[in-house]
Structures are given as C-alpha cells and as structure tokens.
Structure 1
Amino acid sequence: MAKALALMSGGLDSVLAAKIIADQGIEVTGLCFKSAFFGSKNAERMAAQIDIPLMVVDFTDEHLEMTKQPKHGYGKNMNPCIDCHAMMLNYAGKIMEEQGYDFLITGEVLNQRPMSQNYKALQTVKEESGYENKILRPLSALNLQPTEMELSGMVDRNRLLGFNGKTRKPQMALAEKLGIVEYPSPAGGCSLTEPNFAGRLKDLYEHDKENTDRSDIDLLRVGRHFRLTDKAKAISTRNEEEYKALWERITDDMLIFDTADYSGSTVALKASGGHEPTADEIQSAAAIAARYSKAREEEEVLVKYKKPKDEKYEHIRVKPAEDRELANLML
C-alpha cells in the first residue's frame, strides 16, 4: 500500500486534501508543524475527525530565524508564506525519506491567496522545497501539471479536484459530503497574518531583531505595548489574566512598575539587548503605570519599580500619561 504524508495546518483545505487521498486506499499520516507563531491544536482535532494519525514537529528556532529575513518577503502583514511553505515541505520531505513514505500532500488551492498561492508561487515552493516531484496538491491538481504519482497510477487523477480562486463554497460543499462538520474559520491559525500582532512584530524586528527569541514573541501577545524610544518599550497589563501572563514571561533585565498606593496596571519596561534604561524611559514607563491605575486623575502619583530579583523598590513621582501621548506611542 502506498503511504503519504499530509501537511496539516488545522484548516479545512488541508484536512480535505488528506481525506481525498485516504479515500483512494492510500495510507495517510498527518504532519503538523508548530512554532512561536502557530500551534497544533486545530490540526489535532481535524486529524481525529478523519481518523488519521498525526505527527507534530516543533521547528520554532529555525522558523523564527527565517521570519527575520525571508527570501521572498512578507505578505499583507508579516507572513512569509512562500518561504514558510517551502521550509515545511523541506522538513516533510526529509521525514518522508527517513520513514518510508511515498509522497507529500498539501491543501494549497490555486489562486486562493493572490501572492502566495498563484501558479508561480506554487512552483517556487515546490522547487525550493527540494522535493518537487513528490508534492501533490489534490484540491487543485486538475489545474496543475500531473505529478509522477498520478502518471504512475499510484494516485487516481480522475478522483482529484480542480479548485481555483478565493471562494470557499466548493470546499464547504465537499466537507459536508465527506462528513467533516467542524472546522475553524480561514482567518485563524497563524499570528503572522494578524494585523495587530504583525505590527508589534514589525516594531520588534526594526528595533531588536538580532536578539529576538521565543520569549520576545510570546510577550507580544500580552497587554498594551508602547514604543518609548529606539531602545525601550513598555508593556501594560489590562487584567489579572494578563498580569499572570506577563509574570510568566518576565526576564531578569526588565524593570517592573506598579503604583505604590493605588491598584492598577503592572508595567514592564523592556530594553533592547544590552541597553540600560534611561531616566526619561523610566519616567515614561512610570507615567503609563499611573495612567492605567485608580490614580489616573491625580496630578502626581507615586510609582515603585525594580528588577524582578531586586529586594527593594525605587520610587518616582510622575504625572499620569495623557491619552493623546499614549495614542502616539501605542503599537
């Protein structure tokens, strides 16, 4: 029996592609990649729904480095989809060879995304993956050149599809026909496509790309972010949940600010690698803490701050930051 490895993002397209091939009597195993920008939960649910096993590979370090300078650039936000797909297929191809699979499956649909899934982009991904002759795209196969798997009879080309364009109606109809009833919206999954997250990531890469690691990426999802200077930014929590999330991501070099006599937001001052916060940066972070506290209407507020391992707090009196000022700083 032929064996295929199906790349599964957790979306509808990839599970349909896997199911179409599995229904031809081919043994299909799902393969999901996770990194700092996307996880595996949706893929786990979708693989279970069509009853196929799933492998999960964490390639955070390599993927993070690629996003800093992708060969083919970014999409609408900070998503380097062409480079990302090629990287995944290269990884998948190595696993295919090591574990005795015959070919790879992806759920890509021709022209669904104008920049990363046009004909030229799909060809680029195949070529740069290093496994050009082993990649099958079942949902758009009838609009593409036959692969060696189809020409050899391993896969029945007549049972493949010719989806083309942005509309998802054909996929939804096929899902109903195949009994796939639960699937995520097409917008979910990758943080790199989310405008708010992408804006924060772009700012991070512009100011401290070389030192950015997984913890910096995780921190982008917490609280309000303010770019104070080229060397420093502040993160302000909005609730108890974000406070806990911030403390899980605190590093020893950060300064932590709280109002001394009132409840309110905890603010972290994070500097670029090796930079020691200036008096002006400290004052700005303290003013943010004062603004998002019960003392926001006061003329002057006492704010305490220290590094996580320091025993004693320093104190500073500041005027709460004005909303107009913060609007210009907010990421």
Structure 2
Amino acid sequence: MSQDAKNTEEKKPKAVALLSGGLDSNLAVRMMKEQGVEVEAVAIKTPFCDFDCGKGCGHRVKEVADELDVKLKTVYFGEDYLRMLKNPKHGYGSGMNPCIDCREMMYGAAKEHMEKIGADFIITGEVLFQRPMSQNNKALHIIENETGLEGKVLRPLSAKHLPPTDAEKDGLIKRENMGDIKGRSRKGQLALAKHFGVHEPPNAAGGCLLTDPAFSKRVEDVMEHAADIPSINDIELLKVGRHFRLNPAVKLVVGRNKDENEIMKALVEDGDVVFEAVDHVGPTCILRGKNDDDAIARAAGITLRYSDAPKDARSKVRVTVAGKEQIIEASPAGIAETDALRL
C-alpha cells in the first residue's frame, strides 16, 4: 500500500456539531465519537437564547463541551439576528419565533467553521417532528437547500427516517448505527443516555424566549414601534419588569422586585427618564421614547400604583433625567388604566 493511500485510510472523518447543551445534541456528538469521528462544536448565542438564560437553551453548553472533550467555538448573533427577526423570510411560529430563518443562521455559522477546519459534515441533535415549524421534512430540506448544505447535515438521532447523507454514502459513518427516533417522546433519548452512561440527563434545550406568548407580545410591540430595529439594550429591557405602552412613541417598564430594579438601573440609557417613589418602597421605572408632560404624569401615577404609597392620596415621585433629579407629586394610577396600557 502506498504511503498516500495509507494516510487516507488512517485519516479520521471530522464533523462540526451544533451544540446546545441539551440532551439531544449531547447524544448526537457521543454517537459520532463512538464511530471514530473527530468532532468540534459550535454553540450559538442570540439575544433571546443565552447559555445562562435559565430556560434550558444551551444552559450547560460549556460544561457539556468539556464532558464530551470537544473544542468549542461560540458564535454570537446580535444586530444581524434582530434584523432577521424584523422580517423573517419564512415567517414566525406560534410566537415571534422565526425558527427556519434562525436555523439557517445557525447552519451558516456551522458551515463556516466546517470549511475553516476542513471538516467533512455537520451534525445536529435535531429530531424529526420534535418541533412543528423547523423539524419536519420540508423545513429541513429548505434549510439545507438555502444554506448550500444539501447532503452535508447528519442528524444522528433520526437518521434512519431521513435520506442518506454524503457521510453515509461515502462510508464515513455507518447508517445502521444511526438512530430512528422521531416525535416528541423522550424514550429513545433516555435509552441512549443510559447506553452512554449519561447520569441525570438534562431536559431538551429549547428555552428560546421567542416561543413564550407573553414575551412574544413585548417583542412584537418593540419591533412595531422601532424606527429601524431595536437595540440590544431594548431587548435586554424586555426581559425584566412590567411593560406599558403609553403611546406609540413611549413605553414604561416597571420593576417587579429588588433584583429587577438593580438590573433596570444598569440598563438606563441617555434620554431615559427614571421614576421612583420618594417616601415609600416601590419599583424603579424607566420611561423610554419621546416623552412629554402627559407621559411623565402617567408614568408617575403608575410608579405609585406599584409602590406602597396610599392609593387614595397624592405622593411624591423622584424623576431623574441625565443625572438631574426633580420631585413631582402624583396620584396612583387606577387598576383599569394600568390594565389598559399593559403589554
């Protein structure tokens, strides 16, 4: 055998995994490594799906990469993600979740890394029919076609239900060792977890805030009223407090507890107006947008509504703009008014 042939024979296939930190992508990597595939991972972070969001989306990705002994590259989608979210080509799911367009961005990042390191294919933890919008045959085909990855994406957990990929056709992996899982049941994944000795397997990743109905309403509102796209700061502010749309040009965010008050103080931007009750325990509130006297009066009333101030008397409110404070008096807003304005 020639040396070149020997080197070719000994070369291990290489794959790039989209790693979320949930069980499915964890198992997909383990299945590949069991077949002798060298794996590197790409983890995607967005303004709505963070590693530390507490919702299960990539919640252990760094630790999982270490457990799997794979190199990890983190890719952050910021303003480019928000621009896509403003008008996703393939529309939204049940909330403001642009699942197909989102997956295309993720595939694009994996493809870029695949080409950079000379990998042979991409692997994901996707399970056929687990998610209605992005994990069906039609959607998977669209995503591969529009990212130029036809035949290059292997989904080990559901491979036997999907057309053979180039990696299977070329003998880089054995199709008979691939999975036949589909649907929303977790039985197949739990059996694999037991096979690989994964103790206390995590829940499936999928805590994207855009699928939450209440949060989606806030996102829809900020998208509708932004001149172009909202800022990352705008998005971070959506994650805390009670939100009120006072008029098309201005909104008010009211902290719900001490921790949120502190977070909101860190998010104050130039031009924001900050409200706090002077003589009573209450929330930190941020008025953002083109405010006027009417908006300031309404915001002061709502601030008192959620404070310990008596509801049948006027109280003092501290109003801070660009570091300058003034004290005004207001009456607490009524329940009907706040309910009508609340997002």
Per the TM superposition, whether the score is higher than 0.5 is: yes
Secondary structure of 1:210's counterpart equals coil
1:249-269 deviations in Å (ceiling 9; x for gaps): 110110011122222111110
- Listed as ranges, the gaps of 5+ residues in structure 2 are 1-11, 52-58
- How do residues 60-75 of structure 1 correspond to structure 2 at under 5 angstroms? 60-75=78-93
* Residue of structure 2 in register with 1:114 after alignment: 132
* Residue of structure 2 in register with 1:151 after alignment: 169
1:223–1:236: 8 Å Cα contact kept in structure 2? yes
* Residue of structure 2 in register with 1:228 after alignment: 246
Give the alignment partner of residue 283 of structure 1, picking from 297, 300, 315: 297
- Listed as ranges, the gaps of 5+ residues in structure 1 are none
Secondary structure of 2:43's counterpart equals strand
After TM superposition, give the deviation of residue 187 of structure 1 in Å.
6.5
1:5–1:101: 8 Å Cα contact kept in structure 2? yes
1:298 aligns with 2:309: no
**What is the CA–CA distance in structure 2 between the aligned matches of 1:74 and 1:35, rounded to whole Å?**
16
Measured at CA, do residues 261 and 207 of structure 1 come closer, stay the same or move farther in structure 2, by a change above 3 Å? same
After TM superposition, give the deviation of residue 70 of structure 1 in Å.
0.6
2:156–2:178: 8 Å Cα contact kept in structure 1? yes
* Residue of structure 1 in register with 2:122 after alignment: 104
Task: Please provide the CA RMSD for this pair.
Answer: 1.6
**What is the CA–CA distance in structure 1 between the aligned matches of 2:322 and 2:30, rounded to whole Å?**
51
Calculate the TM-score normalised by the size of structure 1.
0.93
1:323 aligns with 2:341: no
Secondary structure of 1:235's counterpart equals strand
1:180 aligns with 2:192: no
- How do residues 168-247 of structure 1 correspond to structure 2 at under 5 angstroms? 168-186=186-204, 188-208=206-226, 210-247=228-265
Give the alignment partner of residue 326 of structure 2, picking from 308, 314, 320: 314
Q: Could you tell which deviates more after superposition, 257-266 or 74-83?
A: 257-266
**What is the CA–CA distance in structure 1 between the aligned matches of 2:60 and 2:232, rounded to whole Å?**
21
2:317–2:330: 8 Å Cα contact kept in structure 1? yes
Give the alignment partner of residue 98 of structure 2, picking from 55, 80, 85: 80
After TM superposition, give the deviation of residue 209 of structure 1 in Å.
5.6
Secondary structure of 2:60's counterpart equals helix
1:38 aligns with 2:56: no
After TM superposition, give the deviation of residue 190 of structure 1 in Å.
1.5
2:151–2:164: 8 Å Cα contact kept in structure 1? no
Calculate the TM-score normalised by the size of structure 2.
0.90
* Residue of structure 1 in register with 2:183 after alignment: 165
After TM superposition, give the deviation of residue 328 of structure 1 in Å.
2.1
- How do residues 248-263 of structure 1 correspond to structure 2 at under 5 angstroms? 248-263=266-281
**What is the CA–CA distance in structure 2 between the aligned matches of 1:209 and 1:106, rounded to whole Å?**
36
Percent identity of paired positions between Structure 1 and Structure 2: 42
**What is the CA–CA distance in structure 2 between the aligned matches of 1:209 and 1:102, rounded to whole Å?**
43
